[in-house]
Structure 1
Amino acid sequence: MQRIDIKTIKKKTLAVLSLVLVLFFSSCDDVVKLDLETGETRIVVDAEIIWKKGTSGNEQIIKVSKTAPYYDNKTPKVSGAKVKVTNSKGDVFTFNETEPGSYVCTNFVPVINMDYVLSVEAEGQTFTAAEKLISVTPIDRIEQKRVPDVAGDDLYEISFYFKDPADQVNFYLTDYKSSILRLPSYTLFDDELFNGNEIYPRFSDPDLKPGISLSIINRGISKNFYNYMRLILEISGGSPFSIPPENIRGNIVNTTNANNFAFGYFRLCEADTATYVVKENDNITYLVK
């Protein structure tokens, strides 16, 4: 009677399975490129006037580009545009092209609660938008602690604290930047449940470890921009850099041809910034000067 060697059978079975898996994944090496429908090319205006506390805010940049097919690796830049911003006093701030698609102003004057109007003339079209410069209260302190994580080890959690004004409705947009993040991480919130109280947004990531630096930019934003960004983040899965499955229009209007609208949003924000390096200890409070 022949003796059945279980170990030999297991080895042969594993060898066959390995060969099948190699053949399967080898057959998946071909890149599948979908034949996607290309929409109408439109102007894109990236116009954020951001006044960081502790700076004059005189240097600002506005970028003008075009939409491109999904598989294109480069964003078409729009050169030769005329870009300016006018405040409610009639002061005109001209943005000059410093490189293809980038327009810079070096004498901008930011004033809290002042109204500003953007004008972009590009490729025979005129685009305009209007917004108010929104303030933000300073960051008071940053706290670090360890919090439980259902997936494994405890996470480092970083919170920054600031006092929300009680006499107004406020909206905020925060972005976090770090070497552990491929793109900035955004948080959008309002003061509906915290009006007049201390607000403390929190950030954590499995790769956030001692020695890692985290940069925080907290902006005061308008209600309209808050609603716009909420749609962007909901549809794009939390990243404004991914491609939304549908068109979301901002506040930029084409006064030459209303049907040929542009993408983007003209916004003016005061912002406070802070940089924090994660420490070894579990509970730390860092006062921001």
Structure 2
Amino acid sequence: MSFFFEVLIGGLLSGIMYALVAIGFVLIYKASGVFNFAQGAMVFFAALTCVGMVDKFGVPMWLAILLTMVVMVVLGLAIEKVVLRPLVNQPEITLFMATIGLAFFIEGLAQLIWGSQVHKLTLPIEDVPIPWLLDSYNIMVSKFDVTAAAICALMVTGLALLFSKTKIGRALRAVADDHQAAQAVGIPLQQIWGVVWAVAGLVALVAGLLWGARNGVQFALTFIALKALPVLILGGFTSVPGAIVGGLIIGASEKLAEVYIGPMVGGGIEGWFPYVLALLFLLVRPEGLFGEKIIRRI
């Protein structure tokens, strides 16, 4: 039973980190109706920029993180101004294709500046088992995983409060409901979109640092964002609480499937099981657990 709880806790901790990546998608989709395919590239760009400053110029890690925050805010604002703003009122497929092109551009730019080799990212967080859990319950849970999950949880909670309790949050909800009506009552769309893209850049930085410290800073970080897709399908594309719940479900089910079903079907189940789960969920509730049900009159 202790092994089961060890696997379950590890999955839930990973799920919180998946939820943070998913929230980057949710924020932009709520504000502009754009599915930002470039979110994974932003995660990669943030992590590579931070570790590149440390390795190439000898910048202290704390200063590199602060400088990368500024870079990601500027990047988010630039994306909104250069890519999103000129395409306002264009079909959704046009905006989606624009973010695909943006993803390849950001990936290439990051490697052009900092190189394509794998970088080691070291954060001041020990990757060792928590002693009291190991001694008392024989459950091995890493301090790094718990700390990373706590950081993600704090950021997710802060974002949820920001967009539910503040003036910016109310404006965001108004923009999400109806762009034209929000603009008619004096809500500045471009400012709201700029704030959302800047916040998405900061979310990408935190996700990039945590996943980069776990797996190394490499091109594969871009695929971390793909794990957010099942999370979004389960939770709903417009719901921050849905992203949290969806992340926990995907993280836990992925780890449990890897341990208990993987030996029966062969290796690699953790790579495709979340997508199968999301596909089955689509058949039952396409809008997600917390998504708004869309009713169209014909």
Q: TM-score, normalised to structure 1's length?
A: 0.24
Q: TM-score, normalised to structure 2's length?
A: 0.23
Pick the structure with more strand per residue: 1
Q: Which has the higher contact order (CA 8 A, sep 6+)?
A: 2
Pick the structure with more helix per residue: 2
**Larger radius of gyration, structure 1 or 2?**
1
